[in-house]
Amino acid sequence: MSARAFFLELPLPFSEGVELQERLVEARARGDIPDTVLFLEHAPVVTLGARGRTEHLKLSRDELAARGIELAPASRGGDVTYHGPGQLVMYPILKLGEREADAHGYLFNLEEVGLRTAADFGVQAWRRPGLNGIWTEAGKLAAIGFRIRRWVTMHGMSFNVDPDLGGFQAIFPCGLREPVTSLRALLGGRCPALSAVRDRMAVHFGAVFQRPLAVRGGNPMP
């Protein structure tokens, strides 16, 4: 079973990313498109997931706006997080089979993709019991939040390659008082280009989810 991958090159406003995903989810549920995975960056935004609480924001909406950061609700699970240029975001739109339709198993597989990607660049990372995402000795490297509706997935993983980590100073990421890190912070001048990380993540996604990705250009909608 294969899937399509689309590499969106310009940072996308979060609202446009959500709208695109919603359209893809509906198309996938109808069977109009195959499984599809989006790889992209977002313009600076703080998002509040289903469990997000405003007390986990350190700045008001106006203060965020003054820094060029949008504040937006998100239909994914989880709490509050930050997205911005230099962060690789992966959004799988998958129709799960009966043996796959388990949120814990899906989370485990997303984490496995992130762990294998980090290892490709010499970064030792791991899971933490009771906490989702990808962790290193310097802090959290990748955050995961998703939604499964009618057996179709939405949202996914954000992996910090070379973002402005100052954006995370505006929040308690995922409601935690834990540091956030990036490949740039961990590797310095050896930090790979975002495109190199994206390419490796696409390979690992195909292997972990048993859906080899065929990269396509143009519009992901039919």
Rounded CA-CA distance 120/100 in Å is 26
CA distances from 121 to 77, 117, 182, 188, 205 (A): 29, 7, 12, 12, 16
Out of 74, 134, 174, 186, pick the active-site residue.
174
Rounded CA-CA distance 146/157 in Å is 8
Half-sphere exposure of 174 (CA within 13 A, CB side): 20
* Residue 174 a catalytic site member: yes
Q: Closest by alpha carbon to 7, among 190, 150, 205?
A: 205
Residues designated catalytic: 174
